[in-house]
Structure 1
Amino acid sequence: MESEDKSDCQMQRVSSPSVIVIGSGFAGIAAARALHDAMFQVIVLESRNRIGGRVHTDYSFGFPVDLGASWLHGVCKENPLAPLIGRLGLPLYRTSGDNSVLYDHDLESYALYDFEGNQVPQELVSKTGKTFESILRETDLVRQEFSGDMSIQHAISIVFERRPDLRLEGLAHKVLQWYLCRMEGWFAADADTISVKCWDQEVLLPGGHGFMVRGYLPVINTLAKGLDIRLGHRVTKVVRHYNGVKVVVEDGRTFTADAAVVTVPLGVLKSYCIEFEPRLPQWKEEAINDLGIGIENKIVLLFEKVFWPNVEFLGVVAETSHGCSYFLNLHKATGHSALVYMPAGQLARDVEKLSDEEAANVAFRQLLKLLPNASPPIQYLVSHWGTDKNSLGSYSYDTVGKSHDLYERLRIPVDNLFFAGEATSIDYPGSVHGAYSTGLMAAEDCRMRVLERYGELDLFQPVMGEEVPVSAPILISRM
């Protein structure tokens, strides 16, 4: 399973089946961990100089800041990551319960402002939230009537034609646009590209949403312990034979094994920078092309001291969702004086064209709209998920006119190639637990397939991942 010279003799050693895992994000590390524990020889090939993929905990401020995923969506024992987070004793900070119109936040701890720096009255925000929920319920009636699909934005415009009483004016209209801006943030995409047929197809686990106070890195480091992970190994070609796979990396080195688990992000698959030989079947290529990949970035501003209200999030309301903005207050959850500006969709794309300093200035200018006396940041961090060639996007979403079944199609194996990652999770797309659970699924499918070929499959062996997990309570707070 090492480079070419050794690999041929290793392929003949029937006793130890081998697998190459491409990508060391949550899906890749979960698959590699499970296969390694099932006595497979596993090599993980990772293009970056770090593990974690779109989970990236940065420590340059002297404390952990997640530039990628930072929530556990569904703080409950049904969440596949819960036992692990519980065992590690990692604290979570709950930012919402179930059924919040804002998904990952409640309207319990917030402050919204207009461009003049005036705070929007709380009653108006709550009342507008109820209107927004009514509008979304009406879009359900719209999609039942129309056979074809349309965007959320188009469906909302039809609702307004039919129900002029739901149209809002003035400040209330701006608050409604802020709700839409937060919805776009959830999908990392603009409302005019999100499918009204499929936008609510994912399974939302109970228990609300928990912010990972110490970041996600301790979780992935625990899973990765003892694995053979090769950093700086960018895969360029995957060749599948009837009896194995050959994987080529950028510098020409070759690795061979019985099977491979492909966990690279959807954006990377879409860019066709990995050549598959023979080509992937048409149904698989269509799934790759037709699934949407959204972009949400984080601009983290560190300040000398806290000068903002003690709320979980701050926002600016505007005439359009594009003009609205959202800041997560890290001080409330972690005690550090930092704010995170989170642009999504086209706004995130625009910000990626700027230098880090210019991007930090954009965020600070937004902050000045709501707090005109804000002091400038002393440090900043900027993510570039859309232009980073290792991700080319943040996470997947349902685009107009395409089926939600595409996630499952992307997951289905092709011969001895297995696929995993958030974009292969039909129930939990766009989430860390979705990526993790598909990694376990791919590992189990791969184990069965390879052992079947070796004639070693013991049908009485427990399925991987079904051992009774050590139950530990998840620590959760809300100050």
Structure 2
Amino acid sequence: MELRNRNTRQLRPAMCYSKIKNRHPASPSAIIIGAGFAGIAAARALHDASFQVIVLESRDRIGGRVCTDYTFGFPVDLGASWLHGVCNENPLAPLIGRLGLPLYRTSGDNSVLYDHDLESYALFDMDGNQVPQDLVVKVGEAFDSILKETDKVRQGCNEDMSIQQAFSLVFKRRPDLQLEGLANKVLQWYLCRMEGWFAADAETISLKCWDEAILLPGGHGLMVRGYRPVINTLAKGLDIRLNSRVSNISRHHDGVRVTTESGATFVADAAIVAAPLGVLQSKSIKFEPRLPEWKEEAISDIGVGIENKIVLHFEKVFWPNVEFLGVVADTAYGCSYFLNLHKATGHRVLVYMPAGKLAQDIDKMSDEAAANFAFMQLEKILPDASPPIQYLVSHWGSDINSLGSYSYDKVGKSHDLYERLRIPIDNLFFAGEATSALYPGSVHGAYSTGLQAAEDCRMRVLERYGELDLFQPVMGEEIVSAPLLISRM
């Protein structure tokens, strides 16, 4: 079936490796909804397998929740910015290595809790007094002990509960682990950092499932030049239609029909839905026929967290030469932290990173108000701070194109939901970080699900064409690899 729009303007046909001349009027075709990492990965793979491919993207740019901004004259990632798992096992490692993109390793630990090594923290109380480093380390060890105790709680309970509830039970069982004064404020900061990993508050994170995802070895590496070079490389030569917000996806026995808000209609053999989970939850895309109930439940029951970035560019450096500046408080909500890009990239930039309820509240502010709020937090710990000369603010929670940052396991919901969201429905396939049971919430998770959806799509379509053996596989191709360029460690 040939890809076309409603005005019947023909696309340039892709070459079909068929030994039977004129067997089909056109080569196999697919429509990809969403030009984030999952969508672009799927489109790249199918394009290279001689499918006709169109990518429909609602934004005026590609990348989705990967957004490298150059307003300051140098790259700053407003969305995803780390490679979680700096190792050859990471699906993105061959591409990043081949492009020669440098990574700044912020931690050699592949833990959820320590994406920065402890010695890279400088924590302060609200009066600007720095927390002694030995106390930071000591409380970090206590936090680790508390988490181990929550595992005992998990093993002894049939019903799920939140991480916050589990902490309360631990303190009742082990009052010796309960901290007071400054130590408790540091503990709240560690909890705040954990919430940042999931982009959600501890009261909503599942005790049963919070550690179900696989963490690749090698620690965490910051993309020094941003993620844009990677997504641009994958997107080269693809037919991508920007400002094309999909409103309807209709599937039939012999293909799919996709309609955009502007009224343009596209038809193809199959479609891959790589829209963010928050967008699917908003039901702004209508499916005909309606998706099965189990699929709708998967969409609605996976959590969507919010983490924003307020990027402050300064004329001079006035802060300590550490990777993370933290503000400790009586509650996790009152705590905050700044990523110091100067140490990693040489640019005079601090990035304030609120998550969960705090991110939701800041999301409602104007850019100016949000930047002022972040600077006020900075002034609390560094009274001599000079105002920023420029700022950038993300609004992932309120952005109609994302409606959230990334997925997490909600209390009472099964981790199997990620796999259910991935399972195809006829000739409709699904991709994105929220369809990755192994690597949810990560760029490499999104990328790998795009490749998987492309392979599933290729197999399904070519089975119908009866030419399965005539096409090369999408996945498993030999890729010329190059070592990752890692600084610091």
Contact 1:81 1:433 in 2 (8 A): yes
Tell whether the 8 Å contact from 2:110 to 2:215 is kept in structure 1 after alignment.
no
The number of aligned residues is 478
Confirm whether residue 476 of structure 1 aligns to residue 486 of structure 2. Answer: yes
Correspondences of 1:248-327 after superposition (within 5 Å)? 248-327=259-338
Q: Report the alpha carbon displacement of residue 173 of structure 1 after superposing the two structures with TM.
A: 0.2
Q: Secondary structure at the match of 1:393?
A: coil
| SS of structure 2 residue aligned to 1:179 | helix
Q: 2:158 aligns with which of 136, 147, 164?
A: 147
Report how far residue 31 of structure 1 moved.
0.1
1:219 matched to 2:230: yes
- The TM-score with structure 1 as length reference comes to 0.98
SS at match of 1:321: coil
Distance 2:243 2:114 in 1: 36
- Whether the 8 Å CA contact 1:95–1:104 is kept in 2: the answer is yes
From 402, 415, 432, give the equivalent of 2:413. 402
| Residue 449 (str. 1) matches residue 460 (str. 2) | yes
The equivalent residue for 2:6 is: 4
SS in 2 for 1:108: helix
> In structure 2, what is the Cα distance between the partners aligned to 1:272 and 1:15?
33
Q: 1: CA distance between counterparts of 2:186 and 2:214? A: 27
State the one-letter code of the partner of 2:319. Answer: W
Which SS does the other structure have where 2:296 is aligned? helix
Quickly say closer, same or farther: Cα 1:100–1:425, change in 2 above 3 A: closer
User: 1:23: which partner in 2?
Assistant: 34
Residue 463 (str. 1) matches residue 470 (str. 2): no
Q: Show the 5 A alignment for 1:386-425.
A: 386-425=397-436
2:172 corresponds to 1:170: no
Shift of 1:212: 0.2
* Equivalent residues in 2 for 1:14-93, closer than 5 Å: 14-93=25-104
User: Normalising to structure 2: TM-score of the pair?
Assistant: 0.96
Gap change, CA 1:99 and 1:420, over 3 Å in 2: closer
CA contact (8 A) 1:47 1:231 kept: yes
CA shift, 1:234, in A, is 0.4
Are 1:330 and 2:341 matched, yes or no?
Answer: yes
Q: Distance in 1 between matches of 2:338 and 2:145?
A: 26
Write the distance in 2 (CA, Å) between the matches of 1:14 and 1:132: 63
Q: 1:124 to 1:418 in 2, by over 3 A?
A: same
The residue number in structure 1 matching 2:18 is: none
Distance in structure 1 (CA, Å) of the matches to 2:302 and 2:436: 12
Q: Provide Cα deviations, 1:92-148, integer angstroms capped at 9, x if missing partner.
A: 000011254633211121200001101000000000000000000000000110100
In structure 1, give the amino acid aligned to 2:5: S
Contact 2:308 2:355 in 1 (8 A): yes
Aligned to 1:408, the other structure's residue is in SS state: helix
Task: Give the equivalent residue in structure 2 for 1:107.
Answer: 118
- The alignment partner of 2:411 has SS state of coil
| Counterpart AA for 2:464 | R
The answer as to whether partners of 2:33 and 2:275 remain within 8 angstroms in 1 is yes
C-alpha distance in structure 2 between counterparts of 1:8 and 1:398, whole Å: 44
1:6 shift after superposition: 3.1
8 Å Cα contact 1:4/1:256 also seen in 2: no
| Greater displacement, 468-477 / 320-329 | 468-477
Contact 2:110 2:216 in 1 (8 A): no
Distance 2:247 2:187 in 1: 45
Superposed, which structure 2 residues align to 1:337-376 within 5 Å?
Answer: 337-376=348-387
Give unpaired runs (5+ residues) of structure 1: none
2:433 is the counterpart of 1:431: no
Q: 1:93 aligns to what SS in structure 2? A: strand
The residue identity in structure 1 corresponding to 2:406 is Y
Question: C-alpha separation between the residues in 1 aligned to 2:324 and 2:95?
Answer: 28
Look up the match of 2:242.
231
Instruction: State the Cα deviation string for residues 225-244 of structure 1 (Å, max 9, x = none).
Output: 00000000000000000000
Q: Tell me the equivalent position of 1:137.
A: 148
The secondary structure found in structure 2 opposite 1:153 is helix
In the other structure, the counterpart of 1:128 is 139
Percent identical among aligned pairs is: 77
After TM superposition, give the deviation of residue 328 of structure 1 in Å: 0.1
Distance 1:14 1:433 in 2: 36
Structure 2: segments with no counterpart, 5+ residues: 15-22
- With over 3 angstroms needed to count, the CA separation of the structure-2 counterparts of 1:145 and 1:14, relative to structure 1, is farther
CA RMSD of aligned residues (A): 1.5
The separation in 2 between residues aligned to 1:101 and 1:17, in whole angstroms, is: 42
